[in-house]
Copies of this chain bind each other. A is one copy, B any other.
Amino acid sequence: MAPPHPFDPLTLGEIAKAAVIVRKELDGKDPNFRVITLQEPPKQEMISFLEGELRGQSHKRPARAARVQVTIRGNSKPNEMVELTIDLTTGSVIKKEHLVGKHPYIDSAYMQAAEKACRADPRIETEIQNLKLPKGAQVVVEPWAYATDGMNNVSERTTMCWFYLRLLDHADANYYAYPLDLCAEVSEQLQVTKIYHLPSSEDERIREDARLYDHSKAHSPELSEYHPDLRPPPRTTTKPYQVVQPEGPSFQVDGNLLSWEKWTMRVGFNYREGLTLHDIRYDGRSLFYRLSLSEMFVPYGDPRTPYPRKGAFDLGNDGAGINANNLRLGCDCLGTIKYFDGWHNTASGEPLKLPNVVCCHEQDDGILWKHTNHRTQNAVVTRSRILVLQTIITVSNYEYIFAFHFGQDASIHYEVRATGILSTCPINNGDKVGYGTVVAPGVLAPYHQHLFSLRIDPAIDGYANSLQVEESHPMPINDPNVHNPLGVGYTTKSQIITEEGGHDLDFVSNRTFKIINEKQINPITGTPVGFKLLPCYSQMLLAHPQSYHARRSEFGSHAVWVTRYQDDELFPSGRHTMQSLGGEGISSVIEQRKSDPAASSVRNEDIVIWHTFGSTHNPRIEDWPVMPSEKMVVGLKPVNFFTGNPGLDVAVSTQEKNESVLVDDGAGCKAGICPRL
């Protein structure tokens, strides 16, 4: 069997081997394996390897290495975390770090234990009894990681347990529709340390008495249930729609190497980022070393205790890989589908398969380009085919659908869809607050933001790139040195960024961020080759700069960040986000490196671009009980990179191949066969 490619995720054997080595290293201790994942090779080694590979020459293979994260069970220090780097070839431990005061991503076993602890607590039992719940209804305890608010010691974990009700006797009844006036805080040692009654109006004092359950009066299942078992029959008007690819897909897969329409890339996957893409090329030319979603932050805007504790790092705390859905044929994608599996590990270090976590398929995307010569009336039209790599994650109530779209015109689009169920809390009938929407009687969906960081590690015709900021400005009209007599002229002004930092978007000046290679000049335009970012215009973090939300997330303060590439610098809110205190994110790193220009200059260097985007999600009632997908799209397009339209060689669209069908053939309407061109 061929050895794995250096970008391939760890194989089953490698996962098992890493566990054995770590067990030996931690001799006598009882490790809970949280992570066994690929430690990607140092970039300098990879560049040599990739260049050799491209030329078909022999090339030194970087060593295979694993990054392993364990917590030590039965230890005096609760939940002590150790991170090790293992050389899988030599079987040696390269690096070992005791991460004091840090916590790994959420441990579902621990969360379940916290839930159990709540249920076992007699005070909570009494509270629930006092609520006088309807008969047959079941209480659901939903544990959340504690978002640091400065109240608790973060060296030990705190779990916030929210209480809901399954009103109907069905395992998939929507319990978020019945938030109870109860909340509990559970300690590392699984003790219930605090019990809260929740606020209703803007008066946020925590009340002594819990509100009785009174939703049922006004709140019919019709308004809040989403599961087909619990709903009236669905609409029957939607006729079947199938995608047929009689000759199969246009892509080829060889292990994790994916080739499609002049594109090549390597598909990666890990517990935290989920889908990652590596060594992305078009027509053999290097474009991106790595593309990944690097972080997500969902801060809630309700200021009342205990809601500031709701602020989720869905990658750092939860993991986009570990929470990836098992995608099902016929449900999540349409057409001819290739699924990729992911691999993770069990608590005892065995390989654990995450099946069908990425689907790969093609879509028709309308017209790629068209021109009708108005003199001859001859039309030339090509249809756009795109390649979609999609992964879907569930993080408690919400789901996110992440998809990279590759185009025949050498464009890449990254689409995020937010769907799932809003996080809810109780509100008295008739009360209103300024930071939430009443989506059902007694149910408040608080305002919140979803902020994403797309990490773009470019390799535009090579690894030394620059970030150019270009704006379009009117030419002056009364400047004797400028010829613009009629006031119609405008030009572009551009600046190349020399220092690491964060930048803002500005559509008013058509501010455009281009990643360019200053050493590669386009032979026709005479300008550096580049790719431009098509940003998703989004409001940045609303929380105050001094708040924990802001200090912990950091990337949410600017839309476009540029940093100098550093191995392992993958996460703009820091490596460990669980109960983090802040100061470990992208702006802190930039600040620390500022004094060393050799390490922080970003012109003609190996740089990384991080795009912050997302939505300020002030819920509409139409988002209830499951929200229709809310799309956000970021694009990357060549700008003076090629010598013309890269999709010019796409064959014209013909009825022969497309086999479209006319609905009717009414008076005078000829079933048009596309004229042969």
Contacts and interface: CB of A to CB of B under 8 A. Distances in A.
A303 B227 contact: no
A248 B351 CA distance: 47
Given A249-B239, A366-B417, A648-B226, A472 B489 contact: no
A299 B487 CA distance: 11
A661 interface: yes
Q: How large is the interface on A (under 10, 10 to 19, 20 to 34, 35 or more residues)?
A: 35 or more
Contacts of A648: 226, 231, 625-626
Interface in A170-212: 171-172, 202, 204
A381 B331 contact: yes
Contact of A261 (B237, B373, B622): B237
A245 B628 CA distance: 24
Contacts of A332: 367, 370, 381, 653
A439 B655 contact: no
A439 B243 contact: no
Given A379-B331, A658-B334, A622 B651 contact: no
A485 B150 CA distance: 11
A472 B539 contact: yes
A674 B329 contact: yes
Contacts of A241: 243-245, 335, 362, 364, 385, 658
A668 B544 CA distance: 49
A300 B488 contact: yes
A486 interface: yes
Contact of A409 (B336, B434, B622): B622
Taken together, the copies of this chain in the complex come to: 2
Interface in A225-242: 226-229, 231-232, 234-242
Interface string A472-516: 111101000001111111111000000000000101111000000
Given A508-B539, A660-B337, A242 B243 contact: yes
A479 B238 CA distance: 54
B655 A328 contact: yes
A439 B308 CA distance: 54
Contacts of A239: 245-250
Interface stretch (A54-62, A95-103, A393-401, A594-602): A393-401
B507 A539 contact: yes
A105 to B, nearest CB: 15
A380 interface: yes
Interface in A639-669: 639-664, 668-669
Nearest to A655: B330
Interface string A358-387: 000010101111111111101111011100
A667 to B, nearest CB: 9
A-B pairs with lowest CB-CB distance, top 4: A330-B655, A303-B489, A487-B544, A487-B547
Given A223-B643, A626-B645, 17 more contacts: A171-B375, A235-B649, A236-B651, A328-B673, A328-B674, A329-B674, A330-B659, A333-B660, A334-B364, A341-B668, A367-B417, A369-B626, A438-B525, A472-B539, A488-B543, A507-B537, A626-B648
12 contacts: A140-B375, A241-B245, A241-B335, A325-B372, A336-B660, A356-B669, A367-B629, A435-B489, A447-B472, A620-B639, A621-B640, A622-B639
